[in-house]
Structure formats: structure tokens, C-alpha cells
Structure 1
Amino acid sequence: MRHFETTQSDSKRGAIGQSKHHDSAIKQVCGSANYIDDNPEPAGCLHAYPVTAPFTSGIIKGVDTSKAQAIAGVKRIFSAKDVPGKIDIGPIFAGDLLLASDEIEFHHQPVLLVVADSYETARRAARLVEFDFQEQEATTDIETAIADKNWVRPPHALTRGDAQAAIAQAQHEINGEMHIGGQEHFYLEGQVAMAQPNGDGGIFVQCSTQHPTEVQHLIAKVLAQPFHFVTVEMRRMGGAFGGKETQAAPWACLAALASYHLNCAVKLRLARADDFRLTGKRHPFFNRYKVGFDEQGVIAGADIEVNGYCGYSPDLSDAIVDRAMFHADNAYYYPAAKISGHRCKVNTVSHTAFRGFGGPQGMMVAEQIVDDIAAALGKDPLTVRKANLYQQGRSTTPYHQEVEQHVLIDMIEQVEQQADYWQRKADIKAFNQTSPIIKKGLALTPVKFGISFTVQHLNQAGALVNVYSDGSIHLNHGGTEMGQGLNTKVAQVVAHAFGVELDKVGITATRTDKVPNTSPTAASSGTDLNGMAALNAANTIKARLTEFIAKHFSVEQASIRFCDNTVYHDKGELSFDELAGLAYLNRISLSSTGYYATPKIHYDREQAKGRPFFYYAHGVALAEVEVDTLTGENTVTRADILHDVGHSLNPALDIGQIEGAFVQGMGWLTTEDLVWNKQGQLASFNPATYKIPAIGDTPAEFNVSLYQSANPEASVFRSKAVGEPPFMLAISVWSAIRDAVSSVANYQCKPRLDTPATPERVLAAVQAAQAFSQADTSHSQAEPSQLNQSQHSQSLKAKKKDEEVTYE
């Protein structure tokens, strides 16, 4: 069941609010959409492949390339000594080396670059390079890094009020911990770049990247050249999800390095297994908490620690852990809070951006807290969730931003009633009482997700709009199209501004020589930023045209309207095509750049106070699951989602993003298990050992609706971001699995369930629940670590005045 509603008042006439297909959809379905590896290779194009270290931590004592160089077709092998400029390409902080020269800090770290006349030859030669090395002890365990205070960046904390005092004075207190697994991006198009001399003394690079400007700047720095020496182009990506925000840069830099030295085109494409090994993932986290609350489950104070498993270098980990901290409240008000964040250094590839950018890992602790409070008090988790929601008078976040929009209360009530939460909950409890093996679970979880880059200067965008004399429109902006429909939405904005059909707007590849100094397409802000920049450019041209019409036809500007491919005024009308031609003949400029910078946002990191987000996007998901208690296997049988996208620019694309995000989130929390062996090698490096959701994993009943609500902030046509926020709706699946497992012990405990909740982990939780139910009423014989994330049984010894009360 799908609902494509929108409250855009003029959606019947304009391009905004209409369900239009993705601009590349037909080409993608037909197989004619070109990606970088599909493009014809220039004459004499060579191929490059990295040589990687065969150990995890240690010192290189020598390298023997003789066997590789002896292979016919090998042209050259590059090392760090061949880099004329910077070797460190850290996006914000130093530490990310293009090529290692002596010290190795993760298994498969790139050391050399083989260039040959074919892809197969380059890859085969790269495997023949031999190393002499002295291996050192590696750290791959996050708890060891925490104990040793081994950080890639210093710790940071948010505080509001006295959390410890609030917890101590509360009626009840619990604590807990949880390991949260990472996630492989698994984009369909792997990392790839092609560099070639541009004929004018510079270099032209085509790269599958979310951040063309950063790639441009880093290549220039590596080659010790000014930025204008490099032009980067990106037309479309076969997926990214954050994995091509910073992680595309090394391969583009290496291809450019080889092209620069050899004066010819060079392509570098990673094989899938090496793409797994050589690129960062979603950060695994280890979270701990302690909370105090009253008899109704209302939180009085929270002390939360989030620990990001960052890998060997900073990459974007500082901002990612910050965002995990910002979202450790999710939708819940903490009257007093301390939220600490650690950026833990371990000997793995450096982890990086992924859809949600740390937010999902922070939200997990908030949802664990409310579930555990509900279990401690014998209440339904939804009751506890509703009692703790942000609302008027309880609206200040731990980072001191005010939550000004309180739509979640209404959204939860809608889902609660329309999806029949309470009746289904009762039916499931009755089913579980008579079903010894299959147990059902139900959970409703909310999402409150902040929209903006937490690095303030990234909240800006540019665009270029040209109107040609025949009335056709050329659009170029700084965002990148990775399948999310950004180009289509921005084109709709431009078409709407001029009152023309969408097919009159042509979209061209993102290029650094058309729109400079762009921000990455990330943080769910692609449409917010680039749509506003394009609207600014279109409105500039439209203002010129309006002034021209008023003067040329002697009419009032207020009477001029652009709609239905026509321009109307007091004395008549003319087609937009006619107007464009007439304006050209009268020497009216029909080209404009546009610019936008997000207003209102600021954050003082020293004070840990500010407004890091322009607004919040919201969502509610109700998930129903079945768990096989003999095997630990689980199935999502139904999902009901209500998501807040403001005034939807394109309901079809928005619903597609919501559906895709939810299923991708299910994968993160249930099947996608990243495993490193004791030697520090990634063991899950291909589809045979790493399982993403398939079409059969999609809920059999999948209901998605858009919430009717305009963005209270002045975003582009009052829409809201939709890329990242719905990803966290899948937390409802994890919570529902815990609910099903809890039924094994008659809902008296919620055993620890680290993620991903693979069958093995679910089975362990089932066994812990069974052990709980078989123990005596005091649970004194049960293993505490099996019974609760807090390493206490869920018969929690809660404080009530001076007495200890045990909740059975």
C-alpha cells in the first residue's frame, strides 16, 4: 500500500509536489546509463592497481618488486617517493596516507601503485610484490583502545545539568551497555577513477565521488599544483551511502599521480574484494549508559558514553562521533545529561561516513534505555516512549538547542491507531503463550534527526542556470547524483520557478569548473542546499525577465505570472519559449549563478552549546517480527511507517528513499556482520561472507505514508530532507526482536542483544531468557551478564527512597 500525498497547494499546476521518475531511471532499467567504467577509454589508456601490505601492524624493512616488473605490460611502479606534493590526504585532520612508506597500521594498507597496459596485468603484478617486514602487536579490540585511552582525536562531552545528582536522587536506576556492529556500504558501482591530461596543461578526472571539490583539491595538493590545474567531473554514481564522501579520493589521487607522470590516461578500479578491504565502513560502536527515572518511567538524568571504533586515522570520525552524541537522546528529553564521546584508534582501515553519519549508533542507546526502563517497571515500551518525548516545556537538548516542532506526539498517535498497535500487541501476547517455538514481537520507535552538516562551513552550495533562446534550460549544481533523485528534485525546483514542464530542464554532470568550492552531497542536505542555490539562480533570471516584460509590454510587474509553460500579463500572454527568444533579442542576460548558505546554525564546541541543526526531520515505524527460538532466525512480517518530509517535492522519490533506507537499516541491525580475524584481516570481504538484505527480506506487508506537515523553517518549498532520517526507522526491527525474545521469559527480562542481531546472537539471547525464566524468583543463580545489557538481571534492583525493590 502506497500513499503519494502532498500538501503543496499548487501541486496540480507546477512541477513541485509531483511524483516524477528519477532522471536516469529509464536508462538504468534499460542498461544504458553510463558509469565511469562504462565510458570509452582514451587511446593509450593504462590501468593502475594498488600494492597492499600483507600484515596489520609493523615496519616495512624492504620491498621486492622484481617479479612484478618482469611481467610484460607493466609500465611503472610508483611509491610515496614519487609524490611531488602532499602524501597525507586526510580530509580534515592529518593521518590518512596516500601510500605508506615505512609504518603499516592496517592490513592491506596501500604501499605502491602498479601501472600496466591492462587491468588484469596491473592486478596480477600487484600481487607479486614481496615484503620484508617486522610485525608489531596490533590493537583490534575497541575495549582495549578505551582502556589504553588510544584516540584518533580527543574526547568530547555534552553536559546539561548535573546528571550524576539527578540519577542519584531518582527513584530508580539502571545501567547497560551494547556493542553495535559496523556496515559495509556495498554500493553497486565500486571505487573507480580515470585521469587524463586535458590538453591545456592540466588534468581531467572522472571519479565516482560524493565530493568532487575535495577530490579536486586533494589531487592538486598531491601534485603540488593550484586547484585550477584539476577538473573533476561526476555524472552519476551507482550508489555511495557515504562510502564515496572521502573514500573516493585516494583512488582518484593515485590515478592522477600516474597520469601526471606518464602523460596519458590512467584508470584505477578496485575489485570488489579489495574494495571491501581498502575502504572504511560504518563505525562500529560500544555504548554504555546509566539512567535514573521515576515510577512512570520518566527519565530524570542520563549518563551516556558512546565509543566509536574509528580505525587507524581520523578521517571523519570526529564529526561522526559528535553526531552520535547529538543523537543519543533521539526523541527523548533528558532533564539532566552527560554524553561523552570517544574516538578509538584501532588497527583497521579508517572507518568513514555512512548514511546517518553516527546518528544511528547514538539513537540505539536511547532506544535501548527506554526498552530497559519499560522492562524494569513492567510497562509497555510505547507508554515509556510517549512519556519521555520532547514537548512544550521539556524541549532543550543536551547540546542546548531548543526543539521547536513537536509533531512526533501526533505521528505516534496516528500510527498507534491506524496500525492498531494495542490490539496487535494483545494478539501477539496471546499467540506467544501458545506457540512454543515461533515467537512474535512488536515495537514502535520514533526518529528525530537533525539536518545540517555539523561542520558549519559545509552548509553552503552553488548552482548555475542557463536559459537558452529557444526556452530550454540548462541546470548544473554542486550536488552529486548517486541514485537518490537529487538531480530530479533540483530540476523540479527550477521548472517550478519558471512555470515550465520538467522536461524543459536539462541536467548536466557535476563539474568543478562549472560550480566551484562545493560541499559533499551528504548529511541529507543535497536538496536543501543545491535546491535553494538553483532556486536563487532561477529567481535572478526570472526577476530580469519580469522587469523586461513590464517595460516591454508596459504592464505592472505584479500582474506577471509564470505557469503552464506560459507567461501571463495584463495585456496578454506569450509562451516561455517566445519570451526567452524575445529577451535574447533585447539583450537580457539569461544566465545566472546561485548561492545558498544555511541560516541560523552555530555550535560552540568549547562550550558544547549551540544550534548545530537547521531543523529536525521525524519518523515513526512499527515493526512486527517472528523469531524461531530453536535457530535464532527472524523475519520482519510487517512494517508501518509514517515519515515527515515536510512539503514533499517528489512523493514517489521520497517514499522510495524511505523504503530503501528502512531495508538497509534492517540489514545493518540483523544480517550485515563485519568480521576481522585475530590477524586483523577482514574476513567478511565478499557477498558470500557478508549478507545484505535481499528482496525476500522485505516485509511482506510494507505500509509507508508521508506525514502532512510543512517545514517550519524556510527550506526549499518547505520540504524536508529524506536521505538519512528513515534509516533509523529500522531500529524498530531490533526492538521488536528483543520484544519477541523477551516473551520467552514472560516479558520479565530483555536479554542483551548486540547488533547485528544475527541468528547466533538472537539464539544466545533466547537462551539467556530461558535461563532467566528457569531461575528462582530472586534470579540469584543466573549469570548477570546474560540477562541484561547492564550486566544486571532485568529483575533490576531499583531504588525507591531508602528501600530496594525488586521488579519481578
Structure 2
Amino acid sequence: MRKLTDALYSSGTVPRQSSGQAGHPTAHESARRQVAGSARYVDDLPEPARLLHAAVGLADVAAGSLKSLSIDAVRRSKGVRGVVTIDDVPGHRDIGAVFPGDPVLVDGEILFHGQPLFAVAADSYEQARQAALAAEWVIEPGTPVLTVEAARAANATVGKTVEFQNGDSSTALERAPHQLSGEIHIGGQEHFYLEGQASLVIPEEDGGMMVYTSSQHPTEVQKLVAEVLGVPFNQVTVDVRRMGGGFGGKESQAAQWACLAALLARQTGRPVKLRLPRGVDMAATGKRHPFVNRWRLGFDDQGLIQAADIEVNGVCGYSPDLSNAIVDRAMFHSDNAYFLGASRVVGHRSKTHTVSNTAFRGFGGPQGMMTIEAALDDIARAIGEDPLTVRKRNLYGTDDRNVTPYHMTVEDNILPELIERLENDSDYWVRREEISEFNRANPVIRKGLALTPVKFGISFTAKHLNQAGALIHIYTDGSIHLNHGGTEMGQGLFTKVAQVVATEFGVALEAVQVSSTRTDKVPNTSPTAASSGTDLNGKAAQNAARTIKQRLIEFATDHYAVRPDQIRFEHGDVIIADQRLSFAELVQAAYLNRISLSATGYYRTPKLHWDADRGQGRPFLYFAYGAACSEVSLDTLTGEYSVDRVDILHDVGHSLNPAIDIGQIEGGFIQGMGWLTTEELKWDDQGRLLSNSPMNYKIPSIGDTPPIFNVALYPQSNREDTIFKSKAVGEPPLMLPISVWCALRDAVASVADYRISPPLDAPATPERLLFAIDAIHDAERNAS
């Protein structure tokens, strides 16, 4: 036979030493290609022969009944090869992610302004978009429900009201020495991923479909495409190499565009690519849920909370989508880091005639946290204490102060130590005094300071999603092929999981190649969401690697007549007693002796249990913690402001990759800061989205980055048995910029010498800050 060679190392492309393993600050695996512009996204793939391009026609009212739809002119348009309406769907018409309510195209009832009526495929992208304008329809308009108040009045919901109860909150509130109540409106957020929604579908010779899509959930796309076409799941293969950002917006809502492309591909027998222009993407896809939350707290003279009654109202849009779980998570995080005493938390899911809101980084958790952070500011103003002092007093503790409103015991709370370290490192108290002096001397420019914590639960709250699979092949040159169920959207998941595998085999990271996430390699995968991508897929890959590694150890034990404890994998070599072989040499010897060099791995998260009916259990394996201290300057005449300094200390357990983790913390902070300050979604009174382009929707720019931006990782391993004792990092940092919102509120409060806590909804735009300043002045006048 042909000789097997150590080609992997002899070529010089892969170092023999163990570089880039877990714990090393290694560059993102696609970084060079992304910077060079050679990283392929769906719209960059080589176009197959006879490719058609698709576009959609959108409804121009928010509510009503479709009486007629004429697409004759669309069919006659130049270059058109196919058109589909709801009547052309051979299988399921509803593509709801969890619950029904999401028709793939309008099915009689108009549910929101911008809902797709039909899809058209033409020879070019321009021809398809032009043809989509030629349709004619008649809609009998209805009365749209657009607000929480209107939805509550109409009893319009997408799911049942849920309640968590821990103790007799009503009695405890009445007995508390002091009570405060309030309401806060928290705006939504556009995902604004760099790569918009896109899918390329290629019909295959057996009637199947090959789907290339920008999706966080390939298995869901596979399922829904198959159901819409009326074929078995095994006839649809979904491939996701990378996304140009997802942030939750491609968890459930990428499927519709893949389904439409597949319907057109089935109708025409030709490949079809559907990519949404930015304006259509913003109008036709869901956002972060806006919330209207109310609270009532009872507390003592020191501001220690004794009882709480909190109500969260999620604005869900026209369908359930993922809203039930999102409102649940808002409820789970309505305590943030604080013991609420006897507590009641209620969650409502309001149905409106707007696009169905969906997953967004934090998944409802940020909206829940905002309520308690606003309330703690109010308590601090009421008792004349610094907000940080009140926050520290109310942190979860031990014994009788460590149980959440949903009856989960907080066992791993590190926030007291973490906050104390950040408090000292950021010179909080020195700066507080300096800022107070500055504000006394400056009537126009006011500074604000806030230090706020984060406690974020890690796991899918839908228990069955907490599982993952992986597939590993080792080739005879010692190179390793890795596939797993997680998707790469820029967050570094592929890099981290490859580092895990490199560490297990003691080889360089360059020896591990990660391939596209594909439904024909690892089936029945969970979405890459809930910050669980590395936790789940890293463990699955580790288990696959350990299966092969154990086979190699058993082979070497017998073949070289040594004990298992005499075998070590390190620096690209395998030490077997007194012998040193390259990893490839051992692999080749195993192959020649018919040892399998391929394995699957599987992992499911332990310890989880949840009783939805009672609102009790352990929905999370662990919590990720962090804190941020932010300083701002506010012009009280114009409402303009700047974020001057930010100090962050964040808990990622034993970091798998400090460089990627710090990047995620920085990026998450800026994205969250945009949500709370500049990103304002606006609809008109007919339900039409007005903020539908970069011209009228302001995401943070590089100029908004704080000039002083200090980020450090808290040096403590996870107490739970996660992958190499790491912690999730995707979502928790997004809640750190609540400190910016609180700092802006602190600056406004300084106008009245901190005696009055100003009303301030989010996002805290310059207009809202001016309204808050006016409210302060009104309160002072009324008091006098």
C-alpha cells in the first residue's frame, strides 16, 4: 500500500507545539478572511447555473382582510420565472417556531404592516424587486392594536399570564415601613446585523433541497422547509458556515426566507436566492421586545427591600414566536442581583398588529433587570443614600437571603467580592465626591456616575434545548475534522470549540479544521442562543474527542505493552513510556490496526428542572456575573451627553479564550448602550415602521465608544462542571450598560441635588433627558 506520511507537520503549515489551546488568547478562526474580505457569506457563494433571484411583496396596512390579490402583472414582468402565494404551498402553511401563528405568507388576515403577501423569482435581483411592485390587491382595513394599553383593553395576548410567588408579598408590602411604586417604558431594538437575512436553495436530483442560509438554527430551518414542501426532513440539508451577525434575529426568523426560496425552487426547478434589502429586512423581521413594566416595593429605613410586586408587559407583536420564553426570562431576571423578600412577579404577553418580536441578545433578561435597577435608584433618592450603597445592601446573600422569586437558590454568588474590587479599581467614591463638587459648580453641564451589577442565568429555559452533538474525524496525517451543532455568527464559537478539541489531543489549534454546521452531520440541534453555544457544543466535542482518545490509549496500551498512565498527549506528540511519537504516527499505527478514528459526542446539561404550573424550580445551571461603572456628562440645555469613562469587571469563569471574551464584553456593552441611549424604534399611528434605515435609526458608532474603556476578567473558575470551568459570555455583557442609563439618570437627579428621582424611559435620547429635567423642575415647584 501507499506509505502513510506525517504530512501535517512535514509541510510546515502546522506547528508541532500545542499552540492555541484552551485558555490562550487566540485570534478568531475567520479573522484574517473577514479582514481580507474573503470570508464567504450566503450572498458570496459561487452562483450555481440558472440561478434565480427572489423578492417579496409586502402588505401596506397593519390590520385587515385580504379580499383579492392579482399577480398577473407580476408574472408578465421582465425576467420573472415564478411567483408563489399562500395557495401555492403544498405542505404546512404555518411556520411558527414553537406555537402556531406565523403564516409563511398572508393567509387571508393581514397581521402587520410589511407582512409578505407573495414572493417572486426572476433572472436578476433588480427584475425581481421591480416585479414585486406590479401586484395589485384589495384589503379591507381593520383597526390595528398597537400599544400595550390597547392590547390589555382588548384582552389580546399571545400566551397565558404567568406568575411567580415567593411568600405573602401583599401582606409584607402593607407592613413595610416605606413603599414606592413606579412604571418604566423600555424600548425595543433592531438587530442591525451586517449581513441581512439571506438564503440560497438548490433543488437536488432526488427531489430534495440543499439550503444555504444565514440562520442560528439550522435544524429549525430544515424542519420548516421540509414541512412547507411536504417532504421528509431527510430530503432537506441545511448548511451554515457563518453569519455576519445574528444577535437572536436569525434564531427563528431566518426560516421564512429559506421556506420562500425553497417554494420558488420547487416551482421553477431552479436554484433560488432570496436576500432582503435593508429596508425590507427592518420592516418585515422582529425586534427586541419593548416592555412596559410596573413595580411596587416595600423597604425599611436603610433601603433594604422587604417585599416586591413586579409586573412585566412584553409587546410581542402579532404572533407567539418566542415571546412566551422571552417574557419568562424577563420575569426570571426582574430581581437581577437582589433579594426581594416576599415577592410576586407577573408576566403578560401583549398581542399587537406589529411585526412579531423575537429573540435578541439577552432574550428578555435586560428588560426585566431595568425595572429593579430603576426602583433601586428611586429607593436611594428616597432615603438620601448613594445608589451603590443601597444596591450592595440588597445583594443576594446566604441562608435566608439567597432564594429567588422562582425558588432557585443562588449558590454561587460572587457579586459582593466582584463589586468591591471594581469599586476600588474604578475609584468610585473618590470620583463620586469629585462629581458632586463639579455639579455644584456647573449649572449647565452635569456629570453622572453609576455602578450596577449583572446576574444572568445560563441555560435554555426550555429544558429540551439543553443538548448538543458533535462529530470528529481524525485523518491519517494527524489532521482533525470537527463538526458540531453550533453556528458561528462572529462570536468565536468555532474557535473556542476547536481549542477544546486541540487541548484534548494535545495538538496545535491549526491541526483542527471546523466545517460548516450541517444538518446531515449533526442532527436535531438546538439553536445557537441563550449564551449556551460553547457550554453545550464544547462539551459535546470534548466527549467525542475523549471517545477517540480512549481508543488510542487502549490501542497503545496493548500495542506498545505499557500501562495507560504511561501515555500522555502533549505538544503535538504522544509520550508512550520512554518513546515519543508524533500524534500522526500514533494515528497511523491505529489506522493500520483497524482502530476507528471517528466518533460522535453528545452532551445534555445536568441539574435542570422547572415546574411551569407552580413557577418554581431550577431553570439555570449557573449564573454569570459582572459589574460596570459608568461616568457621563450631560448638557442640561440640549439633552446631549457623552459617556466619558467605563470600567468593567466581568465573570467568565476560567476563560477559554481571553481575547474573544474581552471582545464579546466590549461589543455587548456598546450594543446594550445603543439600546438604552440612541436606538429608537418609531411607528406611525397606522403601524408603519418609520425607523427603517441607517438614516433614521442610530446605532452606536466608533465615536460613541468611551474614551476610557477598561475591561477586566474576574479570575475565578466556574463552580459547575462546565467545559474547562468556563462561563458563558455572549449575552450577560449586554446588561452592563444599564450603568450608563443609571448614570444619565444620576446626572439629571443632580439638578435637584439628588433629592428627586427623575422619570426616564429607555432609550434615554436627548429629548427624553430634557423631559426628565423638566419633570425635576416641575417636582421642585410643586414641592415649594
> Shorter-chain TM-score category?
over 0.9
Quickly say closer, same or farther: Cα 1:635–1:476, change in 2 above 3 A.
Answer: same
Are 1:163 and 2:163 counterparts? no
Are 1:729 and 2:716 counterparts? no
Give the distance between the partners of 1:748 and 1:544, measured in 2 at CA: 70
| 1:788 matched residue in structure 2 | none
Alignment of 1:338-353 (within 5 A): 338-353=344-359
Contact persistence 2:568–2:576 (CA under 8 A): yes
Deviation at 1:101, TM superposition (A): 2.7
Quickly say closer, same or farther: Cα 1:744–1:618, change in 2 above 3 A.
Answer: same
Matched residue of 2:161: which SS?
strand
Percent of aligned pairs with the same amino acid = 59
Spell out, residue by residue over 1:572-600, the C-alpha distance to the aligned partner (whole angstroms, 9 max, x if none). 21111111111111111110000000000
Give the distance between the partners of 1:381 and 1:560, measured in 2 at CA: 57
Contact persistence 1:193–1:205 (CA under 8 A): yes
Are 1:535 and 2:554 counterparts? no
Matched residue of 1:495: which SS?
helix
| Range 762-771 or range 281-290, more displaced | 762-771
Instruction: Please tell me the residue identity of whatever aligns with 1:716.
Output: I
| 2:11 matched residue in structure 1 | none
Instruction: Please tell me the residue identity of whatever aligns with 2:600.
Output: T
| Range 657-666 or range 764-773, more displaced | 764-773
Give the distance between the partners of 1:60 and 1:418, measured in 2 at CA: 62
1:205 to 202, 211, 224: 211
Spell out, residue by residue over 1:182-240, the C-alpha distance to the aligned partner (whole angstroms, 9 max, x if none). 00000000000010112333110000000000000001110111100100000000000
| 1:452 matched residue in structure 2 | 459
Spell out, residue by residue over 1:746-772, the C-alpha distance to the aligned partner (whole angstroms, 9 max, x if none). 101111100000010011101111223
TM-score by length of 1: 0.94
Spell out, residue by residue over 1:143-189, the C-alpha distance to the aligned partner (whole angstroms, 9 max, x if none). 22123321111110100001111110000000000000000000000
Are 1:285 and 2:291 counterparts? yes
Matched residue of 1:348: which SS?
coil
Are 1:251 and 2:257 counterparts? yes
Alignment of 1:544-693 (within 5 A): 544-693=551-700
| 1:523 matched residue in structure 2 | 530
Matched residue of 2:202: which SS?
strand
Alignment of 1:202-601 (within 5 A): 202-393=208-399, 394-601=401-608
Deviation at 1:100, TM superposition (A): 1.0
Matched residue of 1:444: which SS?
strand
| 1:183 matched residue in structure 2 | 189
Matched residue of 1:173: which SS?
strand
Give the distance between the partners of 1:344 and 1:443, measured in 2 at CA: 32
Q: For structure 1, list consecutive stretches of 5 or more residues without a partner in the other structure.
A: 1-10, 778-808
Deviation at 1:13, TM superposition (A): 7.4
Matched residue of 1:85: which SS?
coil
Are 1:196 and 2:199 counterparts? no
1:744 to 737, 747, 751: 751
Give the distance between the partners of 1:549 and 1:20, measured in 2 at CA: 32
Contact persistence 2:81–2:268 (CA under 8 A): no
Give the distance between the partners of 1:367 and 1:146, measured in 2 at CA: 25
2:153 to 140, 147, 150: 147
Give the distance between the partners of 1:77 and 1:13, measured in 2 at CA: 53
Give the distance between the partners of 1:14 and 1:661, measured in 2 at CA: 24
Give the distance between the partners of 2:674 and 2:707, measured in 1 at CA: 16
Contact persistence 1:497–1:539 (CA under 8 A): yes
Matched residue of 2:548: which SS?
helix
Contact persistence 1:14–1:499 (CA under 8 A): no
Give the distance between the partners of 1:237 and 1:65, measured in 2 at CA: 33
Contact persistence 1:476–1:510 (CA under 8 A): yes
Deviation at 1:68, TM superposition (A): 2.1
Contact persistence 2:18–2:571 (CA under 8 A): no
Give the distance between the partners of 1:772 and 1:420, measured in 2 at CA: 32
Quickly say closer, same or farther: Cα 1:12–1:511, change in 2 above 3 A.
Answer: closer
| 2:10 matched residue in structure 1 | none
| 2:713 matched residue in structure 1 | 706
Contact persistence 1:223–1:257 (CA under 8 A): yes
Deviation at 1:727, TM superposition (A): 0.4
State the Cα RMSD in Å: 1.0
Give the distance between the partners of 1:135 and 1:43, measured in 2 at CA: 43
| Range 515-524 or range 139-148, more displaced | 139-148
Spell out, residue by residue over 1:371-408, the C-alpha distance to the aligned partner (whole angstroms, 9 max, x if none). 11101111110111011101112110111111001210
Contact persistence 1:14–1:564 (CA under 8 A): no
Matched residue of 2:614: which SS?
coil
Instruction: Please tell me the residue identity of whatever aligns with 1:682.
Output: L
Contact persistence 1:139–1:347 (CA under 8 A): yes
Give the distance between the partners of 1:774 and 1:63, measured in 2 at CA: 59
Contact persistence 1:745–1:772 (CA under 8 A): no
| Range 322-331 or range 570-579, more displaced | 570-579
Contact persistence 1:140–1:347 (CA under 8 A): yes
| Range 176-185 or range 65-74, more displaced | 65-74
Instruction: Please tell me the residue identity of whatever aligns with 1:360.
Output: P
Give the distance between the partners of 2:709 and 2:600, measured in 1 at CA: 42
Spell out, residue by residue over 1:478-527, the C-alpha distance to the aligned partner (whole angstroms, 9 max, x if none). 00000000000000000000000100001110000000000000000000
| 1:7 matched residue in structure 2 | none
Deviation at 1:70, TM superposition (A): 2.5
Deviation at 1:272, TM superposition (A): 0.3
Off by >4 Å, runs of 4+ in structure 1:
11-14
Give the distance between the partners of 1:618 and 1:719, measured in 2 at CA: 12
1:124 to 114, 123, 130: 130
Give the distance between the partners of 1:484 and 1:657, measured in 2 at CA: 7
TM-score by length of 2: 0.97
Give the distance between the partners of 2:304 and 2:446, measured in 1 at CA: 29
Q: For structure 2, list consecutive stretches of 5 or more residues without a partner in the other structure.
A: 1-16
What count of residue pairs does the alignment treat as equivalent? Answer: 767
Instruction: Please tell me the residue identity of whatever aligns with 1:521.
Output: T
Instruction: Please tell me the residue identity of whatever aligns with 1:34.
Output: R
Contact persistence 1:560–1:570 (CA under 8 A): yes
Give the distance between the partners of 1:776 and 1:468, measured in 2 at CA: 79
Matched residue of 1:496: which SS?
helix
Contact persistence 1:14–1:563 (CA under 8 A): no
Contact persistence 1:310–1:346 (CA under 8 A): yes
Spell out, residue by residue over 1:446-472, the C-alpha distance to the aligned partner (whole angstroms, 9 max, x if none). 000000000010000000011111100
Contact persistence 2:119–2:260 (CA under 8 A): yes
Give the distance between the partners of 1:579 and 1:144, measured in 2 at CA: 69
Give the distance between the partners of 1:516 and 1:65, measured in 2 at CA: 39
Matched residue of 1:489: which SS?
helix
Deviation at 1:775, TM superposition (A): 4.0
Instruction: Please tell me the residue identity of whatever aligns with 2:194.
Output: L
